[in-house]
Every structure is written in C-alpha cells, then in structure tokens.
C-alpha cells in the first residue's frame, strides 16, 4: 500500500475515535505496530478513547511538540512504527500537520488523521485547515449524526447549562455526556445552529432573543 496522509472527518464527535481504534486493532492483528498521537482526549492525557468505552494508550501531542522528530527518535532507538494514527487532529498546530506530511514523504509511513473541521462558531480549526490543504485524501465518515429535529447534523454547538454559546476559547474540552450545568457539545443542523436552538431549548420552546423574527412596518 502506498504511503499517504489522510483526514477522515464527519463534522462532529460521533465515531472518529472508534474508527481510529478499529484501524489500530486491525493492523495490530496483522503484526503491524503503530504510533498513536492524540490531543485533549476526553479520557485524559495520553489516551485514545471512544464513547463505546474503548480506551488505548497513546502519545499526547501538546503544542510545540515536533511529531516528526519524536518518531525519528523512537526509530533511532530501535523502535518500530509501521503506521501513524492521529486523533483529535483539529487541535494540532499547522506546523504539526506539516510534520505529519513529512512523516509520509520522508519516512514512507501511512498517516491516518481523524478530526472535525469546524469549531462551535463554524470557523475552521487552524489544524484542520492545514490538513485539508495537505492531505492526499479526505474522507467523510459514513456514520451520520442527526440533529434533535431529525435532520442531518452538520454543526457543533457548545453549551453551558444547556444553552448554546458562541463566544469563548476555541478549544475547551467537553463531552456530550456531561451534566447540563457543565460545558458540553451538541450536534445540530445548520438551521438550528443558526437559531441557537439546542434540544433543551426546543423543549422549553425558547429562542435566543437576537434570532427572533422581526416585523417591518
């Protein structure tokens, strides 16, 4: 198989980590050894987890870490790497994405990068933008997420106390399973993301004041 740099993205947090774990398992079963990088996983530092309860050890990739240099150092010490998996790739810096491309081009290894493209404000993550620019192949996950209304979910919403927020730091670790009073995330269709109507807001029948219809005289 030819080496490639790839991005698998579904626009939401639904099954990217599960697929990353499946790829690792399938290759491990064939006797291949991989290096897994991750950043800010919900299970904690140095972990790759899915909401199905699967967890494996990974290498935490903080800001400033040179992924190419790390891999070269491991290989120089006698370590083995047949492939590389990167989860939460959207959190990486653009220069770290460049390092992944160098792993493909200079070391001849397959790199499978998983992540989402846009943040809760519908803005591209810098890492995702660079990955789109450099990846040999982009694939969208086939597992489709649905908005609470039943339409296809295309946007990520950040919630605090169940209410959608559109301001704040781009990266705040949260999960869909957290209590409502904590920071969480919900996937919405574009219509309800634009109206800031989460599932809890729909139950209360309220809309954000700045998106109410305006009658013109």
Positions marked catalytic: 88
Taking the CA atoms of residue 49, residue 52, residue 54 and residue 58 in that order, the dihedral angle to the nearest 10 degrees is -10
- DSSP state at residue 196: T
Closest to 186 in 3D by CA, of 148, 146, 157, 150 = 157
First to last CA, the chain: 66
Phi, psi dihedral angles at 137 (to 5 degrees)? -150, 135
Tokens of 194: 């634009």
CA distance 141 to 215: 42
Read off the tokens for 53.
Answer: 């309860």
CA angle 34, 19, 176 (to 5 degrees): 120
Query: How many residues are present in the chain?
Result: 217
């Amino acid at each position: 198989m030819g080496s490639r740099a790839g991005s698998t993205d579904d626009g939401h947090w639904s099954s990217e980590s599960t697929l990353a774990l499946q790829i690792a398992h399938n290759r491990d079963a064939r006797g291949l050894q991989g290096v897994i990088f991750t950043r800010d996983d919900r299970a904690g530092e140095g972990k790759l987890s899915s909401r199905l309860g699967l967890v494996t050890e990974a290498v935490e990739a903080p800001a400033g870490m040179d992924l190419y240099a790390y891999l070269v150092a491991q290989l120089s010490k006698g370590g083995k790497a047949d492939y590389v998996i990167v989860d939460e790739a959207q959190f990486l810096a653009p220069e770290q994405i460049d390092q992944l491309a160098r792993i493909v081009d200079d070391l001849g290894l397959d790199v499978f990068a998983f992540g989402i493209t846009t943040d809760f404000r519908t803005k591209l993550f810098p890492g995702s933008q660079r990955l789109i620019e450099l990846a040999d192949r982009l694939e969208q996950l086939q597992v489709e997420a649905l908005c609470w209304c039943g339409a296809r979910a295309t946007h990520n919403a950040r919630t605090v106390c169940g209410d959608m927020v559109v301001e704040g730091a781009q990266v705040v670790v949260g999960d869909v399973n957290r209590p409502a009073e904590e920071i969480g995330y919900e996937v919405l269709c574009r219509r309800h993301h634009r109206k800031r109507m989460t599932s809890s807001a729909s139950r209360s029948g309220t809309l954000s004041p700045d998106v109410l219809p305006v009658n013109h005289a």
